[in-house]
Amino acid sequence: MSKIQSANGSYFKLIMAMQLVLAFVLFVFSIDLLTYSLGTFSNDVTKDIFTATLNPFVGLFIGLLMTAMFQSSSMITAMVVAVVASGSLSLIQAVPVIMGANIGTTLTSTLVSFTFIMKRNEFKRALAAGVLHDIFNILTVIILFPLELYFGFLSYFSEYLTHTFFAADDPTKSEFIYNVLITRPFTLWITQLFAQPILWFILAILLVFGSIKILSETVYKAFLSTHFKNLSEHVFKAPLLTFIYGILFTAAVQSSTVTTSLVVPAVATRKIKLAKIFPFIIGANMGTTITAIIAAIYKTEAAISIAIVHVIINLIGALIFLPFPAIRHIPVMIASFFGRISINKKYVSLAYILMTFFIIPFLLIYFNKKDDVQVHDARSKEKNKEILVPKKTHLDKSATQQLFF
């Protein structure tokens, strides 16, 4: 009997390994196809698509709304990397979108808490655990967004790191050899089958979403679902250890929504205290950056820069909240307060979700669309002022503010 179980176990591991390799190859190919398809669009089309991101506030809420709708920050950040790589979006336009995606990804864990809505005390604890991820990312964006808006902190720093450590030997090359040899032949083959770039674009988005989904489910079935209960008593012993586990689990499944949603029921049933899961959530935010890194590692320097931006945002958030217990307690207190007031007024939690993730982003994008189009039309008449920023150009502070406003 043990031999049969051993054979079944080996077969299961082989299947899981094959699925992981297939999903990874599919992900790499889908990013290249997305980059290529965007690059073939006419300049006017791409400018029209991304005109809204001229306003950084709108860009922030575009990232938030798209991630809330697709329920995958990994997919949105991978798409942003591909768009930047194709030259359709500048680095400083992409930064607010990445920030918004960081907030939008927290919706899932909040929705998980509503499975306990019929149980008063459990719902209070579950909702507090669910919104804790929201609060952490919102506070991080509140801190970093003004620094990027007025000083270009994230975009300049990421450009500096890219040019220092990842600059290509030949500055005229927009892609690395790995991309050309491995993925581009398959991309060209697909483009020969379908004559319309819009079909390539749609196929690429579906493949990005599908490959991330396969990666997430495969790793979860192979590792987390069978071992998480046994690991949980060791995972939450010390803040630093919990933070590391959060990084590793999330990097494995490429989805912070999966790992953070795992801890909501544990808090609701009092198996883990709310304060102990916070370092795990911070680690999950760091782990989810692996998708952007994979998507950018063989792309243009601009794409690598936006991947670095994603890492920097979550790293700074971790450095602010993780080392100091007093500061780390602030988001926990806010989440606990929100859980308490939602016991008797359940409409508060529902209104919070609708307003934060859907209504406010949609209204802001809608009402700013006309103004942004007018700004775009005015700027397109100026010969030397282009929306797309050259890849190795460093903008000074005045130019950055002029672009934003």
**How many Cα atoms sit within 13 Å of 189 on the Cβ side?**
6
- CA-CA distance, 122 to 268, in Å (whole number)? 5
Q: Find out whether 270 and 122 touch, Cβ atoms under 8 Å.
A: no
Highest mean pLDDT pick, 76-90, 210-224, 231-245, 333-347: 333-347
- Residue 373, both tokens: 């189009």
Annotated domain spans of the chain: 13-223+235-381
pLDDT in tens, 322-347: 999 999 999 999 999 999 998 878 78
- CA-CA distance, 161 to 400, in Å (whole number)? 19
- Residue 63, both tokens: 């990232």
Residue 363: predicted pLDDT: 81
Q: Has residue 275 got a pLDDT over 80?
A: yes
- CA-CA distance, 162 to 103, in Å (whole number)? 25
Q: Which among 313, 399, 382, 341 is positioned nearest to 141, based on CA atoms? A: 313
* Sign of the torsion formed by the C-alpha atoms of 234, 236, 237 and 238: positive
Q: Which residue has the tokens 């994603």?
A: 310
For residues 401 and 366, which has the higher predicted lDDT (pLDDT)? 366
**Residue 393 carries which DSSP code?**
P
- Residue 194, both tokens: 């379908």
Q: Has residue 49 got a pLDDT over 70?
A: no
Q: Has residue 141 got a pLDDT over 90?
A: yes
Band of the pLDDT at 369, cuts 50, 70, 90? low
- Residue 2, both tokens: 């043990």
Helix (H) or strand (E) holding 162, with range, is helix 153-165
For residues 16 and 96, which has the higher predicted lDDT (pLDDT)? 96
